[in-house]
Amino acid sequence: MDSNSESVNNTDNIKEILDEVHYSENINECRKKEVLIYENEYKISKNEAYEGLKNSGMIKTVGTRFVIYTVILLLAIAGFVVAYVIKNNINDLIFAFISLAVLVIIWFVPHFSLNKLAKVNANGNVIKFKVYDSSLQIFCNKNSWYIPLDNSNRMKLCKNVIVIKRIKDNQLFVIPLRAIESDKTETVIEVLKKGTLTLGNN
């Protein structure tokens, strides 16, 4: 019984290895057939990194929920101030200040966090990117990332940058628009949009 069980396990392991090799060969074969659309390199600035992070939805500074929280707190502050004026109860004034403090926190703390992250990411490293007809490839130092343009990932076009989010590991990539030649911008954006879904902030 033990011998037969071990034999079955070995057979299953071999099958898994062969399947993985076959899958890798298919991926590599697909990459060989890809058509290069555009390539370039850049060093991201702090402002570009900040814009990308802000629009990635990683830290909430915009979006429906953020607006709702702000409106609720503003109404609460107004209500407590009116109640204090009418009743002259110090507790109402205290609650108004507490609500104001919470409002300040939800508005400014995220910006401080984003500013810190942007500074870390704007470290002067040269980032190279290649846009193919069916993938985006990013290279930095000795690392590389492969982002299939098969509608499994997300993209957002911002004022100065393109934000790409690889869903399988939540990896974020920010490409400055200045890194794309003006006569190629429309083509590159069209390829990226066609192969991704929209990245939202809600």
Could you tell me if 140 and 192 lie in one domain? yes
**CATH number of the domain encompassing residue 132:** 2.30.29
Domain count across the chain: 2
Could you tell me if 126 and 189 lie in one domain? yes
CA angle 158, 65, 108 (to 5 degrees): 70
The pLDDT assigned to 150 comes to 95
Q: Between these two residues, 131 and 15, which has the higher pLDDT value?
A: 131
Residue 53 CA to residue 47 CA, distance in Å, equals 10
What are residue 135's DSSP bridge partners? 148
In a domain, 47, yes or no: yes
| 101 contacts 130 by C-beta, under 8 angstroms | no
Tell me the three state secondary structure of residue 98: helix
In a domain, 97, yes or no: yes
Could you tell me if 49 and 126 lie in one domain? yes
Of 191, 160, 126, 178, nearest to 49 by C-alpha is: 160
In a domain, 21, yes or no: no
Among 77, 96, 120, the domain boundary falls at 120
Strands (E), 69-193: 127-132, 135-140, 143-148, 154-157, 161-166, 171-176
In a domain, 85, yes or no: yes
pLDDT in tens, 142-152: 899 999 999 99
pLDDT in tens, 63-110: 677 788 889 999 999 999 999 899 888 998 899 999 999 988 888 888
- Contacts of residue 130, Cβ cutoff 8 Å, sequence gap at least 6: 36, 38, 39, 136, 137, 139
Residue 51 CA to residue 200 CA, distance in Å, equals 14
In a domain, 87, yes or no: yes
Write out the residue range of the structural domain in which residue 112 sits.
64-120
Q: Mean per-residue pLDDT for 3-15? A: 50
Could you tell me if 101 and 179 lie in one domain? no
Could you tell me if 129 and 116 lie in one domain? no
Residue 119 CA to residue 1 CA, distance in Å, equals 62
- Spatial strand order of the sheet with 171-176 comes to 171-176, 161-166, 154-157, 197-198
Could you tell me if 72 and 163 lie in one domain? no
pTM of the predicted structure, to 2 decimals: 0.69
The pLDDT assigned to 65 comes to 74
Statement: residue 164 has pLDDT above 60: yes
Residue 201 CA to residue 68 CA, distance in Å, equals 14
